[in-house]
């Protein structure tokens, strides 16, 4: 079983889908000759040519708009937004057009579109290269929102996204592009969109996370395991639609929940998990549902000390776990 990085697994998935289905094509800024700013599409231009790996103008609205049009005509576009921070010009296309097409045409038309966008902080990217935007889109029925945290899941979920008949937002934790290495199976390796994954079993409290924070959660669980705190860690993987059954089942077992994300606290995705638990697991709770999130400030700061202050990390998570375990 080969080992590879996140970005290599993502490249492999696109390569496999381009080879499997001639309707698949990639469009985005610098994805062609340059191979993408993170080299996610490196080599694909040479292999599949300029008609299937298309360098777009610097205009996100048109990248997604072109994708929607092509998808309606039967193609399978993969749109790359260079940084999730730049997705806002395409917000209207995604929310008003792509998400609603199936519904408003009574199922006659669908938009089989994938939008890939690197997201997240901790990379010294400052205000406009660090944003986490999943909460905006995880509010929109008609979209699917996926965030992988391992190479195997990244490949399998991206391939499922390409084959999904409806639009999928595929946020990639860019700090983990080269930091996270892992085995990737040599089979088809499809990972279904929807189910969360319990990556560590425990009985004292449940930790919910995704993307880079899932790795930090695992590290934190390891730190406190030496202190006798047995944490269960759940990698959410698909944020919308949420996997209510797995989330609730975990808290039924542990009675306590800590949700970690780097996006801002207020109105963040963790609020939805907390609400699900309050609604469906109330009589199983032994402590308040806690969230450890980025603070409510407008952006991830550029200054390194301030960035560290902003970002959750394994020690901060471990401390929150200790407090929750002692409650």
Partner 1 sequence: MATRVMMPQLGESVVEGTVTKWLRAEGEGIREFEPLVEINTDKVDTEVPSPASGTVLKVYVSEGQTVRAGTLLAMIGQPGEVVIDPAPEATSAVQAAVEPSQAHTGRVPAQTTDATPVRDLGFISPVVAKLAAEHKLDLAQVRGTGAGGRITKKDVLAHLERPRASAAPDVPAWERPGEGDLFRPTELQFGQAMAIEVARGPEARPLVPGMLVPHTPMRRQIAEHMLRSVRTAAHVTTVMEADMSAVVAHRHANKDLFEREGISLTFTAYFVAASAAALRAHPLVNSTWGEEGVQLQRPVHIGLAVSLGEEGLIVPVLRDAEQKSLRRLAAEVSDLARRARARQLTPEEVRGGTFTITNHGVGGSLFATPIISQPQSAILGVGAIQKRAVVVGDAIAIRPMVYLSLTFDHRLLDGASADAFLATIVATLEKGAF
129 is catalytic: yes
Do residues 176 and 212 touch, judged by C-beta distance below 8 A? yes
The alpha-helical segments, DSSP class H, found in the chain are 6-20, 44-48, 60-72, 91-92, 101-104, 134-137, 151-163, 176-179, 212-225, 244-254, 269-280, 304-310, 314-326
E strands present in 37-153: 53-55, 76-80, 114-119, 144-146
Q: How many CA atoms lie within 13 A of 193 on its CB side?
A: 23
Longest CA span, the chain: 59
Based on the shown chain and the rule CB under 8 A, indicate whether residue 327 belongs to the binding site for partner 1.
Answer: yes
The pattern of x and - marking residues 195 through 234 that bind partner 1 according to CB under 8 A reads ---------x------------------------------
Query: Alpha-carbon distance 263 to 110, whole Å?
Result: 30
Nearer CB in complex with partner 1: 50/323: 323
Nearer CB in complex with partner 1: 161/257: 257
Instruction: Name the active-site residue from 129, 197, 214, 261.
Output: 129
Q: Which span (22-30, 87-95, 122-130, 277-285) binds partner 1, by CB under 8 A?
A: 277-285
Q: Which span (1-9, 146-154, 259-267, 278-286) binds partner 1, by CB under 8 A?
A: 278-286
Do residues 214 and 269 touch, judged by C-beta distance below 8 A? no
Query: Alpha-carbon distance 80 to 29, whole Å?
Result: 7
Based on the shown chain and the rule CB under 8 A, indicate whether residue 255 belongs to the binding site for partner 1.
Answer: yes
Q: In whole angstroms, how close is the CB of 287 to partner 1 at the nearest point?
A: 7
Q: In whole angstroms, how close is the CB of 256 to partner 1 at the nearest point?
A: 8
Q: In whole angstroms, how close is the CB of 253 to partner 1 at the nearest point?
A: 10
| Catalytic positions | 129
Binding interface with partner 1 (CB under 8 A):
204, 255, 282-287, 326-327
């Amino acid at each position: 079983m080969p080992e590879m990085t996140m970005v290599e697994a993502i490249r492999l998935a696109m390569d496999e889908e381009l080879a499997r289905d001639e309707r698949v094509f990639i469009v985005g800024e610098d994805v062609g000759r340059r191979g993408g700013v993170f080299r996610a599409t490196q080599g694909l231009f040479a292999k599949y040519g300029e008609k299937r790996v298309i360098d777009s103008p610097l205009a996100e609205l048109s990248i997604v708009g072109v994708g929607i049009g092509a998808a309606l005509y039967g193609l399978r576009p993969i749109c790359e937004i260079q940084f999730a921070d730049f997705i806002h010009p395409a917000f209207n296309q995604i929310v008003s057009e792509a998400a609603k097409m199936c519904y408003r045409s009574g199922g006659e038309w669908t938009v089989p579109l994938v939008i890939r966008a690197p997201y997240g902080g901790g990379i010294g990217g400052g205000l406009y290269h660090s944003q986490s935007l999943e909460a905006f889109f995880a509010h929109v029925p008609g979209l699917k929102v996926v965030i992988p945290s391992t190479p195997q899941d990244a490949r399998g979920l991206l391939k499922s996204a390409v084959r999904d008949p409806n639009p999928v937002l595929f946020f990639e934790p860019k700090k983990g592009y080269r930091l996270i290495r892992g085995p990737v199976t040599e089979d088809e390796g499809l990972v279904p969109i929807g189910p969360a994954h319990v990556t560590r079993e425990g009985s004292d409290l449940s930790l919910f996370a995704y993307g880079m924070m899932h790795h930090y959660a695992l590290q934190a669980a390891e730190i406190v395991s030496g202190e006798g705190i047995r944490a269960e860690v759940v990698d959410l993987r698909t944020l919308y639609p949420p996997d209510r059954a797995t989330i609730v089942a975990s808290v039924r077992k542990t009675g306590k929940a800590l949700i970690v994300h780097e996006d801002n606290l207020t109105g963040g995705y963790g609020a939805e998990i907390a609400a699900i638990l309050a609604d469906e697991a109330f009589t199983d709770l032994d402590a308040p549902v806690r969230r450890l999130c980025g603070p409510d400030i407008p952006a991830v700061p550029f200054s390194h000390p301030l960035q560290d202050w902003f970002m959750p990390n394994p020690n901060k998570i471990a401390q929150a776990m200790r407090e929750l375990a002692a409650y």
